[in-house]
Amino acid sequence: MGAGKTTVGKALAAELGVPFYDLDWYITMRYRRSVPEIFAERGEEGFRELERRMLHEAAEFENIVLSCGGGTPCFFDNMEYMNSLADTVYLKATPDVLAMHLRMGKGKRPLLEGKSPEELEAYIQESLAGREKFYNQAKFTLDVSLLDSSVKIQESVRLIREKLNI
């Protein structure tokens, strides 16, 4: 959350001339329910199973850029599956950069509402500690600095294209 997956993913897809998909958005469109609604109805286990099925469905599309939720790589064999089909990129940032991105972001994030800056950073550090072992399995890692301008976003896209040879 806050690494710039959607921002960078959309910019990369636009530059490559291919469709961009966000897995959470795809789930929302297919099931006509928001991710929080699905969590409330099915619980995390039910959501993660649905997420896995939708990941497999979206992976059948050709020539796309897919942005996955922060938890997607951490369940089942999702990371191994993604690596078997595509080039995967971990957009890595420090907790303070992630916190700044989240504060700059326009969208509401229920998990973060009401958190002080210190609580936000603690939450991010805790989340990364549990998830980074999965993220580090991506084929490529790109350290992202503060994505506060179109120039920095385009530089990230350039670096991804360079790493992926595309």
pLDDT value of residue 145: 79
Instruction: Examine residue 14 and state whether it is found in any structural domain, yes or no.
Output: yes
CATH of the domain at 128: 3.40.50.300
β-bridge mates for residue 89, sequence order: 140
Task: Compute CA distances 48 → 24, 26, 42, 73, whole Å.
Answer: 11, 14, 9, 10
Instruction: Examine residue 73 and state whether it is found in any structural domain, yes or no.
Output: yes
SS3 call for 40: helix
Instruction: Examine residue 89 and state whether it is found in any structural domain, yes or no.
Output: yes
Q: Among residues of the chain, what percentage have pLDDT more than 90?
A: 76
8 A C-beta contact, residue 3 and residue 93: yes
pLDDT value of residue 107: 64
Whose tokens are 């998990």? That residue is 111
Positive or negative torsion for Cα 24, 21, 56, 2 = negative
CB-based contacts of 111, cutoff 8 Å, min separation 6: 1, 123
Counting the structural domains of the chain, the total is 1
Q: What's the rounded Cα separation, in Å, for the pair 154 and 84?
A: 27
User: What confidence tens digit (pLDDT) does each residue in 80-132 have?
Assistant: 999 999 999 999 999 988 988 888 775 666 567 788 888 988 999 999 999 99
Against a cut of 0.75, is the pTM above it?
Answer: yes
Instruction: Examine residue 165 and state whether it is found in any structural domain, yes or no.
Output: no
User: What confidence tens digit (pLDDT) does each residue in 50-86 have?
Assistant: 999 999 999 999 999 999 999 999 999 999 999 999 9
Segments forming the whole domain that contains residue 65: 5-159
Whose tokens are 């997956």? That residue is 5
